[in-house]
C-alpha cells in the first residue's frame, strides 16, 4: 500500500512538472514573436558595434515573454495546490521578489535606470528574501573547518551572494544564446538535487523557468532574433540565486553529503567571469558596473569562434568544473581548492592565445 501511494505521488509530481514545463515553453515561444513586433514598432533595440558583439538591431525585451511563460505556468501550480494549502510563504515572497526585479529590469530596458539605483533595489530584494523568507546560507558544512554561521554573518553573506549572482547572470547576456543556455544548464543541475530531495515547490519553479528559457532560446540562438534584456536577466538571476542557496542547504547523495562549492560550481561561468571583470575594472580605477569587452565570451569571439561555438565552450567548461566538484564533494575544502585552481588555469587559455597571436 505504501509503495503504491509513493508511486502515485511520484507520478503526480512528474505529470505536474511536465505540464508546467510545457505551459511555460508554449506561452513563452508564442509571446516572443509578439514581443519582437512590439519592439520593432516602438524601436526598442540593442544596436550592434562597440561592446555589443551582434550585428544590426536586435530587440531586447525577451524578458517579457520569459516572465509571461513563467507566471502563466506558476498560476497552474498555484491553483492546483491552493486547496491543499501546500504553498509556503517563502514561495509567495519569492514570486513577489521576482516580479519586483522584473519590473525594475523592464524599466531599465525602456528608460535606462542608473546602476546605483538598480543595485540598491537588488539589495532590498535580497534583504526581503533573507529576512522574511529565511533564504540564507546557514552553514559552510566544513569548508575550511567552518560549520554553522552566526546568524548576522549568515544574513550579510546571503544578501551579498544573492545580489552578486543576480548581477553575474545579468552581465553574461552579451552573446547569442549564452545567458539562456547557461540558465538551462544550471536549472537542469539544480532540478536533479531538488528531485532527489523531494523539494516539490523548487522542482516546479525550476521546471517552469527551464520551459520559459527554452521557449526563449528558440529565438535567442544564433543568429539571435531577440535578447533577454534586464527584465529577463534580473528576474531569472534572482531565481538562480535562490536555487543556489537552496542547493547549499540540501544533501547531494545518500550519505547526506553537503557541499556549498557544488552550488557555486554549477554557476561557475557567470560567477568567475563577473569576479574577474569586476577586479579588472576596479584595478583600472573604474566602476565595476561599467560595461566593456573584457568578458571571457568576448575573448572567445576575438579568437574567431562563432556565437554558437563560444556558448558550447562555456557549457563544456561549466559541465567539466561542476562534474569534478561533484566527484570531490566529500571534502569541501579540497573541492574548493581544485575548483579555484582549474578555473584560474582554464580561463587564461583564450587570453594567452590572443596574446601569442598579437606577438606574431
- What average pLDDT values come out for the chain (360 residues) when binned by 10 residues? 44 85 97 92 63 63 95 88 70 95 94 89 96 94 92 96 95 88 97 92 95 97 92 96 97 94 96 88 77 81 91 95 96 96 92 84
Q: CA dist 302 to 17, 298, 358, Å?
A: 41, 6, 11
Which phi-psi region, left, alpha or beta, contains residue 156 (left: φ > 0; alpha: ψ -120 to 50)?
alpha
pLDDT at site 84 = 56
pLDDT at site 6 = 41
DSSP state of 6: H
Beta bridge partners of 52: 49
Separation CA 350–CA 360 (nearest Å): 16
Separation CA 164–CA 270 (nearest Å): 10
Q: Which three cell numbers stand for residue 3?
A: 509503495
pLDDT at site 287 = 73
DSSP state of 140: E
Separation CA 255–CA 295 (nearest Å): 39
Phi, then psi, of 87 in degrees rounded to 5: -80, 125
Separation CA 316–CA 323 (nearest Å): 10
Q: What angle is formed at CA 243 by the lines to CA 129 and CA 62, rounded to 5 degrees?
A: 90
**Count of CB atoms within 10 A of residue 26's CB?**
15
Smallest CA-to-CA distance from 323 within 273, 267, 266, 249 is with 266
Q: Which three cell numbers stand for residue 248?
A: 547549499
Separation CA 136–CA 244 (nearest Å): 10
DSSP state of 224: P
Number of residues assigned to the chain: 360
Residue 256 CA from chain centroid, whole number: 25
DSSP conformation letters of 149-189: PPHHHHHHHHHHHHHHHHHHHHHTTTSTTHHHHHHHHHHHH
Separation CA 266–CA 31 (nearest Å): 29
Within 8 A by CB and 6+ apart from 282, the residues are 288
Domain boundaries, the chain: 2-359
Separation CA 283–CA 265 (nearest Å): 25
DSSP conformation letters of 64-78: HHHHHHHHHHHHHHH
pTM: 0.91
Beta bridge partners of 58: 46
Within 8 A by CB and 6+ apart from 276, the residues are 294, 296, 347
pLDDT at site 85 = 58
Amino acid at each position: 500500500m505504501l509503495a503504491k501511494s509513493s508511486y502515485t505521488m511520484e507520478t503526480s509530481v512528474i505529470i505536474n512538472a511536465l505540464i508546467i514545463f510545457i505551459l511555460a515553453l508554449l506561452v513563452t515561444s508564442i509571446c516572443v514573436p509578439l514581443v519582437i513586433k512590439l519592439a520593432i514598432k516602438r524601436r526598442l533595440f540593442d544596436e550592434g558595434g562597440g561592446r555589443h558583439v551582434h550585428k544590426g538591431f536586435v530587440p531586447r525585451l525577451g524578458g517579457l515573454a520569459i516572465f509571461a511563460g513563467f507566471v502563466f505556468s506558476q498560476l497552474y501550480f498555484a491553483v492546483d495546490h491552493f486547496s491543499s494549502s501546500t504553498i509556503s510563504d517563502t514561495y509567495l515572497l519569492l514570486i513577489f521578489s521576482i516580479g519586483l526585479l522584473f519590473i525594475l529590469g523592464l524599466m531599465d530596458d525602456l528608460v535606462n535606470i542608473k546602476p546605483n539605483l538598480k543595485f540598491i533595489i537588488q539589495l532590498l530584494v535580497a534583504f526581503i528574501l533573507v529576512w522574511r523568507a529565511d533564504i540564507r546560507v546557514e552553514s559552510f558544512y566544513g569548508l575550511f573547518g567552518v560549520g554553522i554561521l552566526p546568524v548576522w554573518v549568515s544574513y550579510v553573506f546571503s544578501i551579498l551572494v544573492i545580489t552578486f549572482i543576480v548581477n553575474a547572470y545579468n552581465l553574461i547576456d552579451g552573446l547569442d544564446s549564452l545567458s539562456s543556455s547557461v540558465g538551462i544548464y544550471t536549472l537542469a543541475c539544480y532540478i536533479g538535487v531538488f528531485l532527489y530531495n523531494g523539494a516539490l515547490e523548487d522542482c516546479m519553479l525550476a521546471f517552469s523557468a527551464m520551459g520559459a528559457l527554452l521557449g526563449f532560446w528558440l529565438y535567442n540562438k544564433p543568429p539571435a532574433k531577440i535578447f533577454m534584456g534586464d527584465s529577463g536577466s534580473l528576474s531569472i538571476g534572482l531565481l538562480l540565486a535562490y536555487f543556489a542557496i537552496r542547493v547549499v542547504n540540501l544533501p547531494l547523495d545518500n550519505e547526506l553529503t553537503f557541499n556549498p562549492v557544488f552550488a557555486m560550481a554549477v554557476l561557475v561561468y557567470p560567477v568567475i567571469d563577473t569576479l574577474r571583470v569586476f577586479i579588472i575594472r576596479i584595478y583600472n580605477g573604474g566602476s565595476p558596473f561599467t560595461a566593456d569587452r573584457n568578458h571571457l565570451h568576448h575573448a572567445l569571439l576575438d579568437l574567431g569562434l562563432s556565437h554558437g561555438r563560444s556558448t558550447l565552450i562555456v557549457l563544456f567548461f561549466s559541465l567539466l568544473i561542476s562534474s569534478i566538484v561533484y566527484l570531490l564533494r566529500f571534502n569541501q575544502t579540497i573541492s574548493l581548492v581544485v575548483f579555484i585552481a582549474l578555473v584560474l588555469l582554464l580561463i587564461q587559455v583564450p587570453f594567452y592565445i590572443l596574446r601569442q597571436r598579437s606577438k606574431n
